[in-house]
A and B are shown apart, each in its own frame.
Chain A
């Protein structure tokens, strides 16, 4: 009976893993198949078909793709850096000082509540405002917006990270005459470096994946990866071999980033309710 139970458990796990992993494998297969073969239900390279790296080569040599990869990189790093800078300062304030009106709790909730607003309601104001400021189709606009939308994550994850840090060290420094800012820079930041790095990485991954505003505000020179795969399919029809390459090119970056920050992901995704 116990054996049956364990076998059942094992079966469930394997099924779940196959369910999760198969789409990635299929994208990979499409990316190494010749155009004719992508429409065949063949599963095993070398045995059933001869794999080719031609699509990877040709996509990576396409100027638009390279430009989009560059844009995505600038947007993610820029947005995550701004969110981290602002978020670190705000999180430290929430973790170490007492605010009265509004209270710390109210401030925290105010930052979290940004996440409840439906993004689509910002399409119109951002489009009109960016047009006003001449920032349509600019990488800067997307840096600013993604910094805005990832800021709540940074504030929440980091204020918990700071709370977990014993405050005795900082207090000793303050007694010795250091300013709040000095103790923040020379004691708090070095000790929470892993948390800071993880937060930066998670904000980068979210910014990389953002699609709605990238689609609304770019038309040519600022187009990032998520938009270019959308555009490519609409003009050329769905070419499965290029879909395979583009999909993997786009997904690989945020996935690798997420695996690097594994420990902090639960905390980020639950807006700090779980320390995970």
Chain B
């Protein structure tokens, strides 16, 4: 993964005859500019990561390091039923949210990609969920899902349905968590797809119209292929984010009822901060990293083009 970013336009000043700067000067200056950020990331990202790796080889009890156990913490991963259950919950969550958000978001963007009144207001409103504090959204959702006469169940019974046990039933609780994530992140897919659509050249569509293409053919043979790299990027970003979900299940259901909504991050958080089993929590973190990296490596090649154009 090394050709993202824009190489071509970063012409070195020192080589420009007009500026005629001595080459040594550029070389030193550029490291002064980029150095602080690199050192910061090394200190606060790479070092903690290595420290986590070190931690994962030790056993901890109540937060105190006891002894070196080699790969024991990693071996534990494969026999842990609760970890497996959290992985299952996370996978259902990821598939349920990302698929729905992609379909709804892209669909709405295609539908509303036209000149209409109040476009900026619509965009502004779509921005609101993206920046609403996720924990706060979770607590707000408790008041929406309230089972007796809460607004959602009121609406359902007004439409002739039966009250849904949103937060007390294991299956519905997971649905409730998924719905909140859909509420929060569909606007992201919508907004990004919309600005992608608006960056497409209208000349292509004029040419297609001359050739007598139907709007369905336009979509199939023009819009979707042109938009594909961007859609892959949206998918990638959503997948990465969905796998790390934490705030909403914590605030809305606390992982319950039972372990029905205990997602991976919540289980790892509890391993670390409730049981202070830091070695094992570190090992869990690396397993999640491996899963996410697998997904990234599958999708990244399709996205690379977006960055190369600068």
A25 to chain B, nearest CB (A): 10
B127, B142, B144: the one contacting A258 at CB < 8 Å is B127
Instruction: Of the listed stretches B74-82, B128-136, B201-209, name the one at the interface; the rest are far from the partner chain.
Output: B128-136
B129 near A104: Cβ-Cβ < 8 Å: no
| Neighbouring A residues of B216 by C-beta, 8 Å | none
| Neighbouring B residues of A262 by C-beta, 8 Å | 123-124, 127
- The 8 A CB mask of B267-310 against A (1 = contact, 0 = none) is 01100110000100110111011001100100000010011001
A196 to chain B, nearest CB (A): 15
A93, A175, A250: the one contacting B34 at CB < 8 Å is A93
| Neighbouring A residues of B292 by C-beta, 8 Å | 116-118
A41, A106, A122: the one contacting B52 at CB < 8 Å is A122
| Contact A274-B192, Cβ < 8 Å, known A118-B285, A254-B133 | yes
- The 8 A CB mask of B236-280 against A (1 = contact, 0 = none) is 010010011011001100000000000011001100110000100
Judged by a CB distance under 8 angstroms, whether B220 is at the interface is no
* CA A112 to CA B265, docked complex, whole Å: 21
Closest-by-CB residue of A relative to B196 is A274
B199 to chain A, nearest CB (A): 7
Instruction: Of the listed stretches B6-14, B91-99, B170-178, name the one at the interface; the rest are far from the partner chain.
Output: B6-14
Judged by a CB distance under 8 angstroms, whether A7 is at the interface is no
A250 near B4: Cβ-Cβ < 8 Å: no
**Chain B contacts with A in 178-231, Cβ cutoff 8 A:** 183, 187-188, 191-192, 195-196, 199, 230
B249 to chain A, nearest CB (A): 12
A124 near B310: Cβ-Cβ < 8 Å: no
Judged by a CB distance under 8 angstroms, whether A49 is at the interface is no
B267 to chain A, nearest CB (A): 9
| Neighbouring A residues of B183 by C-beta, 8 Å | 19-20, 23
B13, B49, B137, B230: the one contacting A97 at CB < 8 Å is B13
| Neighbouring A residues of B250 by C-beta, 8 Å | 211, 215, 230
Determine the interface band of chain B, counting residues with CB < 8 A from chain A: 35 or more
B5, B33, B139, B265: the one contacting A243 at CB < 8 Å is B139
| Neighbouring A residues of B293 by C-beta, 8 Å | 116
A20 near B128: Cβ-Cβ < 8 Å: yes
* CA A89 to CA B36, docked complex, whole Å: 8
Judged by a CB distance under 8 angstroms, whether A247 is at the interface is yes
Judged by a CB distance under 8 angstroms, whether A129 is at the interface is yes
Judged by a CB distance under 8 angstroms, whether B89 is at the interface is no
Judged by a CB distance under 8 angstroms, whether B45 is at the interface is yes
Judged by a CB distance under 8 angstroms, whether B26 is at the interface is yes
A242 to chain B, nearest CB (A): 10
| Neighbouring B residues of A251 by C-beta, 8 Å | 131-133, 136-137
* CA A85 to CA B20, docked complex, whole Å: 29
A163 near B310: Cβ-Cβ < 8 Å: yes
Judged by a CB distance under 8 angstroms, whether A140 is at the interface is no
* CA A174 to CA B14, docked complex, whole Å: 11
* CA A150 to CA B52, docked complex, whole Å: 21
B4, B52, B234, B243: the one contacting A112 at CB < 8 Å is B4
- The 8 A CB mask of A50-86 against B (1 = contact, 0 = none) is 0000000000000000000000000000000000011
* CA A241 to CA B233, docked complex, whole Å: 40
Closest-by-CB residue of A relative to B56 is A124
| Chief secondary structure at chain B's binding surface | helix
| Neighbouring A residues of B13 by C-beta, 8 Å | 96-97, 171, 174, 180
B120 to chain A, nearest CB (A): 8
Judged by a CB distance under 8 angstroms, whether A238 is at the interface is yes
Closest-by-CB residue of B relative to A225 is B133
| Contact A151-B37, Cβ < 8 Å, known A98-B7, A108-B4, A127-B272 | yes
Judged by a CB distance under 8 angstroms, whether B71 is at the interface is no
B18 to chain A, nearest CB (A): 6
A9 near B144: Cβ-Cβ < 8 Å: no
B268 near A98: Cβ-Cβ < 8 Å: no
B131 to chain A, nearest CB (A): 4
Judged by a CB distance under 8 angstroms, whether B66 is at the interface is no
| Neighbouring B residues of A259 by C-beta, 8 Å | 124, 127
A41, A124, A180: the one contacting B150 at CB < 8 Å is A41
Interface centre among B129, B133, B233, B284 (most CB of A within 10 A): B133
Known pairs A124-B272, A240-B143; list 19 more (Cβ under 8 Å).
A13-B112, A26-B144, A41-B151, A90-B34, A98-B10, A99-B34, A104-B10, A109-B4, A116-B293, A119-B246, A120-B264, A124-B55, A163-B9, A180-B29, A180-B33, A211-B246, A230-B250, A257-B131, A273-B307
What 8 A-B pairs come out closest when comparing CB atoms? A121-B285, A108-B5, A90-B37, A93-B33, A97-B30, A258-B131, A93-B34, A105-B5
